Structure formats: structure tokens, C-alpha cells
Amino acid sequence: MFGWLRELDEKERKTMIGCLGGWSLDALDVQIFSFVIPTLLTLWGISRGDAGLLGTVTLLVSALGGWLAGALSDRYGRVLVLQITILWYAGFTFLCGFAQDFSQLFVFRALQGLGFGAEWSAGAVLMGEVIRDRYRGRAVGFVQSGWAIGWGAAALLYTAIFALLPDETAWRTMFWIGLAPALLVFWVRKHVDEPAIFHAGRGEAASRSHLGQLFAVLKPPYLGTTLKAALMVTGAQGGSYALSVWLPTFLRTERHLSVLNTGGYLFVHILGAWLGFITGAWLADALGRKATFMLSALGSIVSVVAYVMLPISDGMMLVLAAPLGFILYMMFSAMGPFLTELYPTEVRGSGQGFCYNVGRAFGALFPAFVGFLSARLPLGTAIAIFAASAYAIMILALLLLPETRGRQVHAIPQAAE
């Protein structure tokens, strides 16, 4: 499964390392919030609905950030935009630790989201253009596994920091650690270069106005592909966020687990997610992008509903946490290469940035829906309802989209259907 790594040349390998580091640290910064929700509920006396809004605003604003970054990367370069976005999200994660009330944290979280969405857009396009066609699914999927690495790091930090520090200091310390990703910029600046295909296709993007580049994929001949792909991503992101944002709170408040036990359960879940990312990357090349999506979406509906609804013991929940993470996150490995292969070079950043991040924005509504519904129903029931609905949306949109495995990025026609 990992033999292909030896076949990559130096440029492919360094690009993959830089993007893997960026995505891992991006996940660390974003996932910190899910671990501090129970503390904020107690210390600030906010409602679950308010906590859901704090989670949702980051994801909503990330849509704008990703869309802008995609268009800017088509015009100014993938690597330059990648560096700027890493600095941006690290800085505003750090500032979250100084928030004194709900309003301040809301603003900092929103601005953090601008960089969070932007980083994926620049990094995914960069990877898709540097890695050769044969290994694109595996390489981009491998980088996507960095989400589990960053999430796992957040879980370990949560377990250690909340065990050593009082809650009033611990949650702020978690956010302050989020400044660390800024150091990655120095490595990226030295070792990662723009892909040759970007330089070759830059002329057409540069000839458009900034607004023209931003809205290029919302006009024929790209509009149909864009809308269907964005809907598919909405379902994938909505299902993921409905569970991941609320899982720590579900374990603490519904299952009454301690901080240490919650961290342990989440670590097992995240390990399963990492294995799912790696397996999904291999399946994206072996079976195809659509087959990987479909397998993961159908399995996720069954797994999420069973995990939060069935009267299973704490021991069984620990055992099932790994396969739950495995099936849920397998789909995201195929997301990057699939979107890369839908658009030609001159609008690739704009297309990927719009579809993934607008999908993320609408998917971001699902944690808020869960929060508000949980005021009337048990939290597990609310999670199950919205996660299953999201994956159903994904499946319907997926049926309308083409298979893209095997497409050469330098030869993709306009609005390849």
C-alpha cells in the first residue's frame, strides 16, 4: 500500500511533505474547538446552540476563504497563497485564546475560518498538479490523512493539558498552541516550488479580472459541474461535522465519561480515521473515485446511527470507535483528486476552492442544526438525524457526477462532464 512512495521524485515528495504538514496543522487548529466546547458550556454558561454557532461560523467563513484562495492561486501561484493562509489561520487561532466573551471568540473564530478554508484550496490544487496521474489519488489522499494526524495531536494535547491545568487556563492554552503552524511557512518557502503546469496555463487566468476569475466556474460551460460537485461535498462535510463537532460533548455529557476516558475514546476513533484516509487513498486509484465515495457514504449512515443510537456498553463504544472513524473519513481521500480532475488548469483553483469550501459552508450548518435540535431531543438522536440526511444528499449528487479516475490534468477539456 505504501510502495508507491518510493516511486515519487524529489519535487513530488517535498510537495507532499509540505502539504501534509499544512493540512495536519490546519486540522490541529480547527479541531481544538471541539475539545473545549464542554468547558465553555460550563465556564461561560453558553447554550449548545451558541456552541454550535461558534463551530459553524468558522466553517461558513472558510467557504469564502477557500473560494478566494482558489481564484488567487490561479492568478498568483499555489505556493504563495499556501504560505499566506498558514500564517493567517495560525495567528487567529492564537488570538482565540485571549477572547473574553462569546462575541470576541465568535469574531476570532470567523477570521480563523478564512485561512482554514484557504489552506485546503491552495494545497489540494498544488498536490493535484505536481503528482503524476498514476499516483494522484494515493498521494492526495495520503496528504488528506494529515487531518487525522492533526486531530490526534489535538486529542493528546487536550488530554494532557486539561489533566495538568485548571479548566480556566487549559482551554486558552489549547488555542495558544495553535500558533505553531506558522513555523511551517519557512520550510515551504525553501523546499516547495510552483508546478510547471501552473506556469504554462497562467496566461488565461491572468487575462481575467479578479472578479472574472472568481466567478468563472459559475458560468457555462462549468456551472453544471460546479453545482453538482458542491452539493456532493455538502453532504460529505455535513455528515462529518454533525458527528465530529459534537462527539466530545456526546461522550462527556450523554455517556458521562471523564476527560481522560473521552480523550482515549477519541484517540481510538482518530486512529481509525487515519486508517480510513490511507485506505481511501488506495481505493480511489484501485476502484475509482465514485466507488470509494459510495462505499464510504453508505457505510457512514449505518455506522453513525448505530454508534449514537444503540444501547451499547462503554466497552463496545471503545471498540467501535475505530471502524466508525475508518468508514467516515475514507471518502475524503478521493475528494482532492476528484475535484482536481473535474476542471482544466486555468480555473482549477477556482473550481476546487468553490466546490469544496461552499460544500463545507453548507455542511457547516449541520453542527448548528444538531445543537438546536438537541435542546428538544437527546444529543445522539440529533446527531443521527442530521448525519444520515447529509450522507443521503451526498449519494444523490454523486449519481449525477462522472468518474474521473485516469484523467490527465494537462489534457482536461473545459467543463469535462
CATH number, residue 56: 1.20.1250.20
Report CA torsion sign: 48, 30, 335, 415.
positive
> Is the whole model's pTM more than 0.85, yes or no?
no
Asked if residue 333 has pLDDT above 70, the reply is yes
Distance, CA of 146 to chain centre: 10
Q: What is the rounded distance in angstroms from the CA atom of residue 118 to the CA atom of residue 81?
A: 8
* pLDDT band of 416, cuts 50, 70, 90: very low
* pLDDT band of 210, cuts 50, 70, 90: low
Cis peptide before 221 (omega within 30 of 0): yes
Q: Which of 50-59, 303-312, 344-353 has the highest mean pLDDT?
A: 303-312
Q: Specify if 317 maps to a domain.
A: yes
Who wins on pLDDT, 263 or 51?
51
Domain count within the chain: 1
- Mean pLDDT estimate for the chain: 86
**Residue 175: in which H helix or E strand, if any?**
helix 167-176
Q: Encode pLDDT of 136-145 as tens digits.
A: 888 888 888 8
Please report the DSSP string for 330-392 in residue order: HHHHTHHHHHHTTS-HHHHHHHHHHHHHHHHHHHTHHHHHHHHHTTTS-HHHHHHHHHHHHHH
Strand residue runs (E) in 116-228: none
Q: Specify if 417 maps to a domain.
A: no
Which amino acid is it at 182?
Answer: A
Please report the DSSP string for 234-293 in residue order: HHHHHHHHHHHTTHHHIIIIIS---HHHHHHHHHHHHHHHHHHHHHHHHHHHHT-HHHHH
Q: Specify if 152 maps to a domain.
A: yes
Q: Specify if 2 maps to a domain.
A: no
pLDDT at res. 417: 46
Instruction: Tell me which residue range forms the domain holding 361.
Output: 9-187+219-401
Q: Specify if 309 maps to a domain.
A: yes
Q: Specify if 314 maps to a domain.
A: yes
